[in-house]
A and B are shown apart, each in its own frame.
Chain A
Amino acid sequence: MTEKDDNRGIKRQHYAALGVGFVCVIIGLPLWWKTTEVYRVSLPYSDIADLTNVKIKCVIDVDVINTEPSLTDNNLADLSRIITASLGQGQEKVVHSSYRVSVRQGNDQQKSEVLKTADVKGLDTTFSKQDVLNHYQMVLLPKQSGVKVKRSHVSNGRAAYFTTAEKDLQTIAQEITNVVHSIFVKESTLLKTFRDRITSKRLKPDKESMRSVKSALGYDILFTLVNPQPDILDIQWDIKQAVRDFLGPLSEKLKEYVSLNIQSQVIYFTGLYKRPKKDSKLGEFYYTEKDLPLLINPLEAKLGSHASSNPSLNFLVYIPSREQHPLFIMDQSGSKVPSNSFLSPRWGGIYIYNVKSPSQNASLPHEVSLNMKQVMEVFISQLRLLLNLNNQIPDSTDVGNQAIRLWELDGWLRQRCIENLATSIHTLQSLTQLLERISNIVINDDIGNEVEEALSGIRQSQRYLAVGQLDKAFIQSRKALAASDKAFFDPSLLELLYFPEDQKFAIYIPLFLPISLPILGSLYKTFQWMKTKRKTKQE
């Protein structure tokens, strides 16, 4: 073997090692990487991150209609300036409202009708003709109006009435601003709701947000009659008619925004397990406030499950048994609660209905039918609390069996819209955080689509809010919430989650270790050879 041959052999050997190394590193590794890669759709991460700095602008229309003849157009122009100045503050907040104020003289028909009517109802019929969602009418009543209004009065529609007697423009503007800020548009509540939902850190909860149920696509409302002694009392309740009378208007108004699934049932032989205390003097039984939380759990076990995944609101009528009759609820001061009912936050309410006990020699079971008006009035007020429609304003028309005032509906929509947006943003951000942290989660096309839909819903909703189209904004926000929830809770995310890295290592090592060692060894030698060769050449 000559030296030349030898050198050529060495050369060939090192080039072969380089070749093998090249194939393994340049083709093998990417191929392995590609084939074992987890399928992950690219999500709009930056867009979602940008949502942190989102600012929501709600546009609200405020019309001031003057029917007082002594106020001239010039006065109205002044008034408009003052109101605009006092309404439009706090532009820098995350959720801010901007008002489109128009102050104008009422038309002749309105002026004449205002003079004619003697009560608020008459005014309502005049001004409800122009009732538009998210559009409020502030009516300045003439001094000689027959309607007696203390300072201001809020109707069941979307109007408020103000007297002009003995007031200057500044006071009128102040009152209008007050009504708009504190009743029609609760800016601080909106802001608080948004801030509360968008972070996982809970702010200090207030009563209202803890009590009301979360925003959802629909609610299951369940009325239950609990009769522990059907052998003694045969209770009849006309729940069908009652639901129609008392919940019909509510569901009619909410039908476009939320679905109400109303059910009723009767359960027998189920009592309150906690024994009430006895007041032996009066022969009455009572529960104190402390006992009330203990009543719900044993009852809830009997209520049965729902077929839907909507949050459920339970309303129970409890008929005390003969041994514990009559039964009352005492408040902290020791006096009976007038409604004889109590509310459990985000769950529902229980109403204790004392039925006259049958006399000893009456034939059993004794038939009794319940006064449904009495029952439903309690439940409607509880339902309003649970839906966060709690507005106790002294100068307003009684809500009656309508269950919801039109301006309350607006406020509810606005708040739910903000809440949906905040929750949806928060969910999306949690999702991206999760996906970024755990790298072997599969992200399907479905999830990608849902995220895109949620994002577009959020943007659309923002856009609609900014032009004052509240109903469309709400529907878009609902869509966003549903899509983001669906993406977050998609079961496909969990599929590969429990395949730990060390197990993968255990599977790869029998192949990779014996193959990579000789390759790396020969590559090392080759590089050394090349180094020495270069040195010798330089020399």
Chain B
Amino acid sequence: MILLHFLVQHYRLFPKSLGDVLTTYQVQELHLSQTQGVWRYDKWGYPPEDAAPGAELLVWFLPQASNIDKLWSDLVNALSGLFCSSLNFMDSKSTVIPRWTFRPAGLADEGYSLQSARVRYSALPKEIVCTENLTPWKKLLPCNSKDSECKSSAVELKQTLTLVYDPPTTNRNGKQDWNFRNTYSTSLSSQCPLASSSKIFVDMESANFAPFTLKPEPTRIETFRRVGEIKKYAVYDLKEVLGKQGKIDLTALYPGVMQFSDIVPPPVYASRYVTGYGLEKGGITCQIHNTLSENITVIYMETIPWFLRVYFNSLKVENNGATIKPFKIHYIPGKDRSQPYQLELVFRLRAQSTTKISLSFDRAFLKWTEYPPDANHGFYVNSAVISTILPTSVNNTAVQQHGSTIEDSMNDQSEQLFLRLHTESLLVSLPTPDFSMPYNVICLACTVVAIAFGSIHNLTTRRFQALDPSKQKKGILSKIKSKLFKSSNLENSKSDSSGKTESEADKSNQKDDLKDDNKDDKISNDTEPS
């Protein structure tokens, strides 16, 4: 019996909450990364898993999915709930459809992987990872807090966690020693029984110039050749190690104090920054360094928010002063409040040189409701994505694109290695208004209108004529006036003699006023003696 009228899904190792989201929103492939800080390529080499600063989401939708924009907006909302992060801000204002930069990492047929219409890419550089994001991430693991990797022939879920430590500064003695107990504050005592293999790998490449000893002894040392480089990994098979010892506190001991020296930068790295000054115009410049002795073709992708209005004619790709003509350019101009600027370039990096890509933009004025609460902090601009293929695996421990585990990279026979870099994200300040302005404007405008209206109204509805003060009827105002001055006279006369002259002078001034009102004067005279 085939049940078509109701949906049945069964999960064993794959997390149900994620699986549910993936099937509901017809996702073929989903890449989500969240990071904190910046990976320093020039100093650290390449990370095991490259990620943009902040949050980055790349989704391939199924071929049968229709209305992908709607699916995407629902998906980011679901994911933001699932991962406790503000992915719901990935709306059309920050979402692009990359054309060449991304290809499916899983199984997909040729026709599908060339169809860039099914891809959506967005990044939030401000959304840095936090412990509250780690808890839901951890929940997806089948053994909960016990780490493992899940695999089946049809679906693959790859969860990686990359951490950077700096042992010489955290260790008091200046040595580079590290162990599990210090870095994770616990030793490893069990492995996930559901995992078919759990292993620890230690890259021994640095042991060539800074030798260290590992405790306990690794299960085996793997030496292999990968894309022109000899690699050496110490491998710990947890099943074996834990079976023997019960727990493992992996320790590396260095004989001497850490000697800092010049770092040989990796083959390709980039740096990106904002240029210009003032709040009207600005520019973005990215420098890509190629230290190899051969030319390399790269794909450069840039997404710039709509409020930085980019001039396409200002796009310049230069190498040592000479302008380079890109092979291909894919540029989609942004639209105010709906679409970011998207730029993809394919060009060649000359051997041992630095290539500079520069753009200039105008800073737009935002509506006063569009500013974030901390408007003076500035606005983040996504990092640029650089994709290329390297003929070497120097400084690179990443798993190749079609592989899943580090072990796969040991058997990698290919001659080239795919590389993806994310540059720094940028912080651009926009002209920020005084936020009490709207009310001030209302008040000022109203006052101006009221004054103008009042004077015109007076001119039209009043007549100016000469009046004889003696005939004038007494109004309330003058009555109050006379009373006020009378009482002040009283006070003055009572207080002291020095004030007398003043009060007398006052009196003489007010004589005219008081003349009219002899009655009042009399009363005041009557009251004086009492």
Contacts and interface: CB of A to CB of B under 8 A. Distances in A.
B447 interface: yes
A260 to B, nearest CB: 5
B453 interface: yes
Contacts of B449: 511, 515
B457 interface: yes
Interface in A274-326: 302-308
Interface in A210-255: 222, 230-231, 239-240, 243-244, 248, 251-252, 255
A269 interface: yes
Given A13-B461, A510-B447, A514-B450, A307 B24 contact: yes
Contacts of B457: 20, 518-519, 522
Contacts of A518: 454, 457-458, 461
A246 to B, nearest CB: 12
A511 B446 contact: yes
Nearest to A223: B10
Contacts of A251: 3, 5-6
B82 interface: yes
B342 to A, nearest CB: 29
Interface string B78-92: 100110000000000
Nearest to B447: A510
A232 to B, nearest CB: 8
B20 interface: yes
Contacts of A266: 11-13
B146 interface: yes
Contacts of B458: 518
A306 B16 CA distance: 9
Nearest to B82: A305
Interface of A: 9-10, 13-14, 16-17, 20, 222, 230-231, 239-240, 243-244, 248, 251-252, 255, 259-266, 268-270, 302-308, 365, 506-507, 510-511, 513-515, 518-519, 522
B210 to A, nearest CB: 39
Interface string B1-15: 101011111111101
5 contacts: A13-B460, A251-B6, A255-B6, A510-B442, A514-B446
Contacts of B12: 265-266
A286 to B, nearest CB: 27
A365 B193 contact: yes
A515 B16 contact: no
A263 B6 contact: no
Interface in B494-517: none
Interface in B9-48: 9-13, 15-17, 20-21, 23-25
A513 to B, nearest CB: 8
B244 interface: no
A307 B82 CA distance: 10
B463 A13 contact: yes
B443 A510 contact: yes
Contacts of A231: 193
Top 6 closest pairs, chain A to chain B, by CB: A304-B17, A514-B450, A231-B193, A510-B446, A511-B446, A265-B16
A513 B443 CA distance: 12
Nearest to A307: B24
B439 interface: yes
Contacts of B5: 251-252, 255
A261 B5 CA distance: 10
B146 to A, nearest CB: 7
Contacts of A268: 142-144, 194
Contact of A304 (B16, B144, B442, B443): B16
B144 A248 contact: no
Contacts of A13: 460-463
B460 A20 contact: yes
Interface string B460-499: 1111000000000000000000000000000000000000
B446 A304 contact: no
Contacts of A263: 8-11, 16, 20
Given A13-B461, A305-B81, A507-B442, A265 B193 contact: no
Contacts of B142: 268
Contacts of B461: 13-14, 16-17, 20, 518, 522
Contacts of B16: 222, 263, 265, 303-304
B140 to A, nearest CB: 9
Residue of B20, B439, B442 most packed against chain A (CB within 10 A) = B20
A229 B454 CA distance: 85
Contact of B6 (A17, A259, A303): A259
Contacts of A302: 139
Interface string B143-169: 110100000000000000000000000
A513 B447 CA distance: 10
A230 B193 contact: yes
A530 to B, nearest CB: 14
Nearest to B4: A255
Contacts of B10: 239-240, 263-265
B11 A511 contact: no
A316 B439 CA distance: 59
Given A252-B5, A511-B450, 11 more contacts: A10-B463, A13-B461, A239-B10, A240-B8, A251-B5, A262-B9, A266-B12, A304-B20, A307-B23, A515-B453, A522-B461
A163 B327 CA distance: 92
Residue of A17, A248, A265 most packed against chain B (CB within 10 A) = A265
A513 B461 CA distance: 18
B194 A230 contact: yes
B6 A260 contact: yes
A255 B78 CA distance: 27
B218 to A, nearest CB: 24
A38 B8 CA distance: 47
A307 B13 CA distance: 19
Contact of A262 (B6, B13, B454, B463): B6
B461 to A, nearest CB: 4
A20 B488 CA distance: 43
A262 B23 CA distance: 13
Contacts of B193: 230-231, 365
A264 B463 contact: no
Contacts of A514: 446-447, 450-451, 453-454
Contacts of A506: 439
Given A16-B460, A510-B447, A262 B81 contact: no
A532 to B, nearest CB: 15
B17 A305 contact: yes
A10 B23 CA distance: 83
B159 to A, nearest CB: 15
Given A20-B461, A507-B442, A514-B454, A264 B447 contact: no
Interface string B423-466: 00000000000000001001100110111011001101111000
Residue of B3, B13, B82 most packed against chain A (CB within 10 A) = B3
Contacts of B139: 302, 304
A9 B144 CA distance: 93
Contact of A269 (B82, B146, B453, B460): B146
A255 B7 CA distance: 11
A259 B21 CA distance: 18
Contacts of A9: 463
Contacts of B194: 230, 268
A321 B522 CA distance: 109
Contacts of A515: 449-450, 453-454
A376 to B, nearest CB: 14
A89 B20 CA distance: 50
A269 B9 contact: no
Nearest to A222: B16
A264 B17 CA distance: 11
Nearest to B75: A307
A261 B6 CA distance: 6
Contacts of B463: 9-10, 13
B63 to A, nearest CB: 21
A307 B78 contact: yes
Contacts of A511: 446, 449-450
